Amino acid sequence: MRVIIPFAGSMPKTRLSDVLSLSERRSFARAMLQDVLAAVQAAGHEPVLLTPSPLDSDVSTIVDDQPLSGAVNAVLSDSDLPVTVLMADLPLITATDLAQFVETQGDVVLAPGLGGGTNALVVRDRSFAVDYHGTSYLDHLETAQEMGLDVSEATSWRLTVDIDEPPDLAEVLLHNDGHASRWLAERGFSMVKSTGRANAIRTRDVQSQSSN
Amino acid sequence: MRVIIPFAGSMPKTRLSDVLSLSERRSFARAMLQDVLAAVQAAGHEPVLLTPSPLDSDVSTIVDDQPLSGAVNAVLSDSDLPVTVLMADLPLITATDLAQFVETQGDVVLAPGLGGGTNALVVRDRSFAVDYHGTSYLDHLETAQEMGLDVSEATSWRLTVDIDEPPDLAEVLLHNDGHASRWLAERGFSMVKSTGRANAIRTRDVQSQSSN
């Protein structure tokens, strides 16, 4: 199945600005994308990047400079269904998660993100359109139900835990063994645990390398 | 199967102190526990509370004033296996999640929590003991692997998203329709969405009611 992966290359991950510079955020977003692409390919599916401007990548790419929802809806309209849409900030996912998600039955299958977003969806009915504004998970659920569509919820926590904010970086160090966790380790991040949840803290000051 | 639910009644949920008073935290912890008990019972399993001091509850209760790990290990030693240990701050779980978790094969089945904790485990081998200190998920995984045990990871995001910190309250409003979300709504919390993740904010100042 085609797995559409929206990727905003130039100003990614703004909520990580307190801990990563712009060039680091671009590089880290690429590292997470590599892990997501690897999971999709290992599951035997076909990744397609959806970006607002051309990217240097070997992966099939659709360039559309509309805002996210419009660009995704254009792809849904133009595609043979089913199609999966998967966010690029999910470096915890494995091929198994992806395979199970894509096989989940339903006209629409939704994977919630932390804080009410929609991290991934499978669309099997042409009448459904996305709107990522607001608490999109609840909105997508309600819209699909109002349309009489059969909606399912994804189960995997690895699809729910997206990497958007500084506390999320601990999840990468805890549960990813690919590009994203190596990237953080090489930039001096390590896990610090006191009481409560572990945090990923930059304990060494490592110069950002423009080659990465 | 017996499902042991540790419940620290007197000083619960200290990391919610910025948004809830002590009496509110006690009451909210009870509301979350009710939802967890309902899921366990609806799945056809037998909940057993594990508490440091006697509780006013209809549910079977083991009183043990040791710290958490010691108390859980005492229960594991004294029980016919398998046994499930499930945290009380998981009000998003459904009977389906619980049933699937308990049926997951493995000498030890681990459900990670956000930030590296262990939200639930199924124990089928008597040689395994818990240690909740530190990043217990990784420690439990490593210990079980070193012992040559067959370890599995739980899948459900509803078992991973525990309610410990103020941002987690949004997850309750988003994904729980039981006691916990009603409790928050009655205390004046509602969901506020700007950019990024939704937050549960107390938008009405509602007097805490000692009867709840």
Residues recorded for chain A: 212
Question: Which of B115, B159, B171 is closest, CB to CB, to A196?
Answer: B115
Q: Give per-residue pLDDT as tens, A124-133.
A: 999 999 999 8
Q: At what angle do helices A22-42 and A95-103 cross, to 10 degrees?
A: 60
- pLDDT averaged over every residue in chain A: 94
Smallest Cα distance from B75 to chain A, Å: 24
Q: Do A174 and B15 touch (CB under 8 A)?
A: no
Residue A211 pLDDT greater than 70, yes or no: no
CB A3 within 8 A of CB A36: no
CB A190 within 8 A of CB A173: yes
Residue of A nearest to B96 (CA): A155
CA pair distance A153, A110, nearest whole angstrom: 5
CB B184 within 8 A of CB B172: yes
pLDDT at A207: 58
Determine the average pLDDT of the residues in A179-196.
Answer: 93
CB A128 within 8 A of CB A121: no
Q: In what order do the strands lie in the sheet with A118-123?
A: A61-63, A46-51, A2-6, A83-86, A118-123, A108-112, A151-153
pTM attached to this predicted model:
0.95
Residue A18 pLDDT greater than 90, yes or no: yes
pLDDT at A210: 44
The tens-digit pLDDT sequence of chain B (212 residues) is: 999 999 987 889 999 999 999 999 999 999 999 999 999 999 999 999 999 999 988 999 999 999 999 999 999 999 999 999 999 999 999 999 999 999 999 999 999 999 999 999 999 999 999 999 889 999 999 999 999 999 999 999 999 999 999 999 999 999 999 999 999 999 999 999 878 899 999 987 775 544 43
Identify the CA nearest to B113 among candidates B150, B79, B147, B160. B160
Smallest Cα distance from B122 to chain A, Å: 18
pLDDT at B207: 58
Smallest Cα distance from B45 to chain A, Å: 21
pLDDT at A195: 81
Helix/strand/coil for B207? coil
Q: Do B160 and A157 touch (CB under 8 A)?
A: yes
Question: Which of B100, B155, B197 is closest, CB to CB, to A115?
Answer: B197
Q: Do B137 and A170 touch (CB under 8 A)?
A: no
Q: Which residues contact A72 (CB under 8 A, 6 or more apart)?
A: A4, A6, A50, A85, A130, A132
CB B92 within 8 A of CB B36: no
Binding-site residues on chain B for chain A (CB distance < 8 A):
15, 97, 100, 112-117, 134-135, 137-138, 154-157, 159-161, 164-165, 167, 170-171, 174-175, 191, 193, 196-199
Q: Do B116 and A165 touch (CB under 8 A)?
A: no
pLDDT at A176: 98
Q: Give per-residue pLDDT as tens, B31-72.
A: 999 999 999 999 999 999 999 999 988 999 999 999 999 999
Determine the average pLDDT of the residues in A135-162.
Answer: 97
Helix/strand/coil for A8? coil
pLDDT at B195: 81
